[in-house]
Amino acid sequence: MTTQIADNIRTIRNRMAAAAARAGRDPAGIRLMAVSKTVEPERIRQAIDAGIGLLGENYVQEAREKIPAVGQAVQWHMIGHLQTNKVKYVVTLFDWIHSVDRLELAQELSRRAGQHGRVLNVLIEINVSGEASKNGARPADVLELARQVAALPNLSVRGLMTMPPYSDDPENSRPYFVALRRLRDELAAAALPGVAMAELSMGMTDDFEVAIEEGATIIRVGRAIFGERRST
């Protein structure tokens, strides 16, 4: 039996391959994350059955209920804004944290991960647009932040993440994706000890093809897989 979710995933993979071809990239270097906020475990399992191995959640309380129900045979990534007092829950649930945007948060993640003998993969979230309403470190601060985070024993810096301002035209996202890639290249050139700058987490339902053209290695897709979310 094929499900709507499986059909959606097949369509997205085709679009990913076409975008990669346009950019002369190997599609194997681009991972599809299914963003499952507000999606119930049964429908998440349909995505896993259709080949999804990477899931993203935004809210700690929701993740605490759903991740144990779905299981940890897949990789779970935390992509939402994280308060320091919630860190104690996330270090056992998630393998990757995409939303590290300040040293205080990184220090707490490393400390708590250490208590469980874990090393978490982290991305530094960048506020490329500079909008006051957006989370993320300022581009001007990222070199120093990456240096400090990399020095923490239980975190491994793997790259950068961003979320451009909302727009109904995906081309409007392109300059932000280009800016994130350039920042990644600058950081990679700085060759900070312990910092791998391989990953660019960027692109969602409305703009993932543009993100792939500009170098995304992880795209975070919710609605194109699971349908519109019920409003919260």
Ligand X SMILES: *Cc1c(COP(=O)(O)O)cnc(C)c1O
Convert residues 49-88 into a mask of x (bound to ligand X by CB under 6 A) and - (unbound): ---------x--------------------xx--------
- Pick from 20, 32, 35, 212 the residue near ligand X by CB under 6 A: 35
139 near ligand X, judged by CB under 6 A: no
Element spanning 82, H or E: none
- Pick from 29, 166, 223, 227 the residue near ligand X by CB under 6 A: 223
Site for ligand X in 150-179 (CB under 6 A): 163
Distance CA 54, CA 98 (A): 13
Nearest alpha-carbon partner for 100 in 176, 61, 152: 152
Residue holding tokens 């935390």? 78
Whether residue 57 contacts residue 76, with contact meaning beta carbons closer than 8 Å, is answered with: yes
Distance CA 92, CA 213 (A): 34
Distance CA 213, CA 205 (A): 15
Using the contact rule CB under 6 A, the part of the chain among 21-29, 64-72, 192-200, 219-227 near ligand X is 219-227
Q: Output 112 or 220, the one with its CB closest to ligand X.
A: 220
Could you give the C-alpha distances from 54 to 47, 95, 103, 131, in angstroms and in order?
Answer: 10, 10, 26, 29
**Residue with the shortest CB distance to ligand X:** 222
221 near ligand X, judged by CB under 6 A: yes
127 near ligand X, judged by CB under 6 A: no
Number of residues that bind ligand X (CB under 6 A): 12
Whether residue 222 contacts residue 55, with contact meaning beta carbons closer than 8 Å, is answered with: no
222 near ligand X, judged by CB under 6 A: yes
Residues that bind ligand X (CB under 6 A): 35, 37, 58, 79-80, 163, 204-205, 220-223
